[in-house]
Amino acid sequence: MKGKRIVVGVSGGIAVFKAASLVSQLNQRGADVRVIMTESATRFVTPLTFQTLSRNPVAVDTFDEKDPSVVTHIDLADHADLFVIAPATANILAKMAHGLGDDMLSTTLLATQAPILVAPAMNVHMYENPVVQENIKKLCRLGVRFVEPGSGQLACGYVGRGRMAEPEKIVEVVEEMLAEPGSQLQGKKVVVTAGPTREPMDPVRYFTNRSSGKMGFALAEAAAAAGAEAVLVAGPSSLETPVGVRRVDVTTAEEMLQAVLEEMEEADVIIKAAAVADYRPAEVKGSKIKKADDRLQVELVKTPDIAAEVGRRKGRRLLVGFAAETDQVETYARDKLQRKNMDMIVANDVSEPGAGFEGDTNIVTVFDKHGEVLRLPQLSKREVARRLIRLVGERLDERS
């Protein structure tokens, strides 16, 4: 991060003392650190502390213009390579989510084009408040990255989630973000499938599975952030389309197959993250099946194997699959990799806490034909997606 300009926004919470350590560590790694403090933050630690640690003036008041040749908040916004908000209070999260600019920090955030990293810190009940969680979700959709708070003893006396991440962890994420070229997949087309499919039995009922689509949506978002033309072929899902992603909605496995085959013509990468139904009812009734006997027999037939079909047609395209298993994960995943002519497969044990359907985290291992490529601990699905997309970029670079 030598020479990178990192703006650290410090809002008013007891975790401000951790921000001092963060600024010091960033400075020691060669970054040009500029600090913006809210008025509340100065009640905990003085601006002089951050001025000493950053070796740069600290901005607090929007109207305190020391250099007449520039407008300070615009200058800071324009020249930032990365914006870090630590600690981020519920108040600054609300301002960011709703576009408010009533102080130096919030005004500069409105003007910046730089990536933003946020480290929340607050009381556990404040953090879990639905309004705060909704603001966080909105910011995530807008591309803001979060370092999740830890759990433990809070300054207010409560025990729970809300402690600001340790400075070392934030520095680690900063290094990752600065190392991720935004144009890693520039000029490439990435097609991602996500969510479940629904196979109708009658106008009311259908067969499906528990997939939420969160992993696939996160992959499409990460691909777009890396500069790709990202196309998301999505089964039924209430998730919002990520910024910069073109979404194609489908319902059944057959519809998903046709959409993928159409989109893959110009694709460089196909990522099969959808949980496609393996079987569908052989006959779809035209009217609702009425309840009668104690038992109902339904004949099922196989749905199209999308991954296998893509594997047969992929040519030089990179094909990445997923294997959601409950036992013998590596064995089944590597077998699927070979049978379906995939280049890589992402395997997870969905029976393991933190790695199953519908959750916000995942635990994965990636294999190629030579064996294990990458093993990730429990991380947010958005973080897993970033690392997988980075791996995809590396594989494309190796091919070229």
At 323 the pLDDT is: 94
At 98 the pLDDT is: 96
Give me the mean pLDDT over the 236-259 stretch. Answer: 93
Indicate whether 197 and 339 sit together in one domain: yes
Specify binding-site residues for CTP: 278, 288, 322, 336, 340
At 214 the pLDDT is: 95
Whether residue 36 lies inside any domain: the answer is yes
Residue-wise pLDDT for 248-293, tens only, equals: 999 999 999 999 999 999 999 999 999 999 999 999 999 999 988 8
Whether residue 184 lies inside any domain: the answer is no
Encoded amino acid at 112, one letter: T
Closest alpha carbon to 377 in 367, 391, 369, 387:
387
Indicate whether 76 and 128 sit together in one domain: yes
CA distance 294 to 272: 39
Please determine, for residue 180, whether its predicted confidence score (pLDDT) is greater than 70: no
Indicate whether 197 and 144 sit together in one domain: no
CA-based torsion, 251, 255, 257, 260: positive or negative: negative
Residue-wise pLDDT for 82-127, tens only, equals: 999 999 999 999 999 999 999 999 999 999 988 899 999 998 889 9
From 136, 153, 179, give the residue that closes a domain. Answer: 179
> Would you call 368 helix, strand, or coil by DSSP?
strand
Please determine, for residue 182, whether its predicted confidence score (pLDDT) is greater than 70: no
Closest alpha carbon to 381 in 130, 132, 148:
148
| Residue labelled with tokens 């997988």 | 388
- Share of residues in the chain with pLDDT > 70 (%): 98
CA distance 382 to 217: 9
At 265 the pLDDT is: 93
Whether residue 29 lies inside any domain: the answer is yes
Domain assignment of residue 266, given as a range: 189-399
Whether residue 242 lies inside any domain: the answer is yes
Tokens representing 12 are 């008013």
Could you say which DSSP state residue 158 is in? -
Whether residue 24 lies inside any domain: the answer is yes
- Check 74, 156, 243, 298 and give the catalytic one: 156
Q: What is the mean pLDDT of the chain?
A: 91
> Would you call 337 helix, strand, or coil by DSSP?
helix
CATH code, domain with 95: 3.40.50.1950
CA distance 370 to 390: 19
Indicate whether 154 and 120 sit together in one domain: yes
CA distance 41 to 207: 54
Indicate whether 239 and 319 sit together in one domain: yes
Specify binding-site residues: 278, 288, 322, 336, 340
At 207 the pLDDT is: 95
Q: Which residues contact 350 (CB under 8 A, 6 or more apart)?
A: 324, 325, 326, 356, 357
Phi-psi region at 160: left, alpha or beta (left = phi > 0; alpha = psi -120 to 50): left
Indicate whether 137 and 235 sit together in one domain: no
Residue 253 has a CB neighbour count (10 Å cut-off) of 24
> Would you call 309 helix, strand, or coil by DSSP?
helix
At 156 the pLDDT is: 66
200 preceded by a cis bond (ω within 30 of 0): no
CA distance 334 to 343: 11
Residue-wise pLDDT for 196-226, tens only, equals: 999 999 999 999 998 999 999 999 989 988 8
Residue 61 · residue 82 · CB < 8 Å: no
Residue 76 · residue 108 · CB < 8 Å: yes
Number of structural domains (the chain) is 2
- Share of residues in the chain with pLDDT > 90 (%): 70
Indicate whether 140 and 215 sit together in one domain: no
Residue-wise pLDDT for 126-166, tens only, equals: 999 999 999 988 887 777 888 888 877 776 676 777 889 99
At 72 the pLDDT is: 80
From 145, 179, 213, give the residue that closes a domain. Answer: 179
| Residue labelled with tokens 């607050």 | 122
CA distance 400 to 316: 11
**Active-site residue flag, 140:** no
Q: Which residues contact 328 (CB under 8 A, 6 or more apart)?
A: none
Indicate whether 136 and 254 sit together in one domain: no
CA distance 45 to 155: 16
Indicate whether 67 and 125 sit together in one domain: yes
Phi-psi region at 342: left, alpha or beta (left = phi > 0; alpha = psi -120 to 50): beta
Taking every pair of Cα atoms in the chain, the longest distance, rounded to a whole number of angstroms, is 84
Indicate whether 129 and 202 sit together in one domain: no
Whether residue 156 lies inside any domain: the answer is yes
Indicate whether 123 and 253 sit together in one domain: no
From 132, 148, 179, give the residue that closes a domain. Answer: 179
> Would you call 387 helix, strand, or coil by DSSP?
helix
Tokens representing 134 are 């909704």
pTM for this prediction: 0.64
Indicate whether 141 and 205 sit together in one domain: no
